[in-house]
Amino acid sequence: MNTSDTSPATMPVVRLIPKAEARAIRHGFPWVYANELVTDRRTRNLAPGTIAMLEDANRVPMGIVAVTPASKIICRMLDQDPEAVIDQAWFAARLTRALAHRARLYDAPFYRLVHAESDGLPGVVIDRFGDVAVVQPNAAWADVLIAPLVAALAEVTGVTTVIMNGTGRARTLEGLEEKTEIVLGTAPEGPIPVPMNGAIYMADVMGGQKTGLFFDQRPNHAFAAGLAKDARVLDVFSHVGGFGLAALAGGAASALAVDGSAPALELAAQGAAAMGASDRFETRKGDAFDVLAALAEEGANFDVVVCDPPAFAPTRNAAEAGLRAYERVARLAAPLVTEGGYLVLCSCSHAADLTKFRNASARGIGRAGRRGQIIYTGFAGPDHPQLPHLAESGYLKVVVFRL
């Protein structure tokens, strides 16, 4: 596809079948599924990421979409204006709007700048680390148009380095290859220190998980840190020290970070050192379930226990198995919490909704012979806005129990 040829006059046309829910799309739903589109040979032969005009069954234009013929999400709505041109100026307008919101929220330029569909850039995630931005183009159209996207990103934000992180399950579903590369500027020398909630995190933007740091837990880190003064804290699935370092900044007596990744724990230790808190911080590498069981056998207990696992239920098909895993986490973690202490349980699985996750957590606590009261329910921070039409955009849930 010629990436510059995105003017309405020359782009191909795709059309909804008569029974498709055109009204939902007109009201803001951002996707067209494969069974809602006329998929004749011409449409099937479009290159992944082709920019096209979407029409309803009566041939009335509905807007500009990106088409990936082999994907279940065959079209992603880019702009409901049929005259829109998807070029650098279009990207700049979307990024300017996204930046205005984050600049109002945060004093320092460390945040999620673009949260995919919720910010009008379907499948695109951009995290900002000062003068460095990490772009995840998880949809084919963004891969095709990466050049005008990056140019607009530098123009609007002034970042001098842009890293394209093309890894993860979403790209596989789009038929895209996995690759990570510098698309603007030069690679940073080592991890980037990120100040957040009084803590300092070390983000490995070149080789770390996802973009190198999870900004979504920021408000939940802050709440947990408020419980942590003079407390002994256990942070399981800690990654680079998320809850543990925030707890130390909140005055915790000690924090033990548990993770299966030695590089992540090393970054967590570097963060603790940068905070001057190494004497209150320990790490333990191992499978989280095994370590939780071993700590119980050792008779260990903590005033605050946090479990922030990866997505156990990334799809609807995995939901039941995922909920059993969340229940098991709660069952193993609850015995480690002191009487009157706090258990912080997290899920980033959009397929396990809040009610199901909360119920699985409560079952696990009950099976451990404990009882709890819910004192806080948290979600992703406001730099991860939710699109009301898209349940997937509200993936993160945090439930804090006092046991």
Whether residues 37 and 94 share a domain: the answer is no
* Domain end among 79, 97, 123: 79
Domain shared by 59 and 38, yes or no = yes
**Dist. CA 230–CA 253, nearest whole Å:** 5
Tally of CB atoms within 10 A around 373? 8
pLDDT score, position 370: 98
Tens-digit pLDDT profile for residues 152-194: 999 999 999 999 998 877 787 778 888 899 999 999 999 999 9
Residue 7 belongs to some domain of the structure: no
> What's the pLDDT at 137?
94
Catalytic, out of 75, 307, 346, 348: 348
Which pLDDT score, from 0 to 100, does residue 392 have?
78
pLDDT band at 6; cut points 50, 70, 90: low
Please state the domain count of the chain: 3
- 312 lies in the same domain as 385: yes
Does one domain contain both 46 and 123? no
Mean pLDDT of 36-50: 95
pLDDT band (50, 70, 90) for residue 4 = very low
Q: What is the mean pLDDT of residues 28-45?
A: 95
Q: Who contacts 217 (Cβ-Cβ below 8 Å, separation ≥6)?
A: 242, 243, 308, 346, 380, 381, 396, 398
pLDDT tens digits for range 208-255: 777 889 999 999 999 999 999 999 999 999 999 999 999 999 999 999
- Tokens describing residue 398: 């945090």
| Tokens, residue 126 | 């951009």
Query: What integer is the mean pLDDT of 34-59?
Result: 95
* Residues 30 and 76: beta-carbon distance below 8 Å: yes
Kindly give, in sequence order, each residue whose CB lies less than 8 Å from that of residue 265, ignoring residues fewer than 6 positions away: 238, 257, 259, 283, 285
Give the dihedral sign, CA 289/276/383/183: negative
CATH of the domain at 375: 3.40.50.150
Mark whether 23 and 105 lie in a shared domain: no
d(CA 257, CA 238): 6
| pLDDT score at 5 | 54
Q: Is 303 part of any domain?
A: yes
Q: Establish if 105 belongs to a structural domain.
A: yes
pLDDT tens digits for range 114-133:
999 999 999 999 999 999 99
Over 80: is that where the pLDDT of 398 sits? Answer: yes
What is the extent of the structural domain holding 47?
13-79
What's the gap between Cα 288 and its chain centre? 21
Q: Is residue 5 part of a domain?
A: no
CA distance 76 to 73: 7
Residue 45, pLDDT above cutoff 80: yes
Flag whether pLDDT at 1 surpasses 60: no
Clarify whether 348 is annotated catalytic: yes
Residue 81 vs residue 178, higher pLDDT: 81
List pLDDT tens digits, range 190-207.
Answer: 999 999 999 999 999 998
23/141 Cα distance (integer angstroms): 24
Which of 156, 184, 212 represents a domain boundary (last residue)? 184
Q: How confident is the model at residue 313, as a pLDDT?
A: 80
CB-side neighbour CA atoms (13 Å) of 33: 6
User: Which of 329 and 314 is assigned the larger pLDDT?
Assistant: 329
Pairing mode of beta strands 254-259, 281-285: parallel
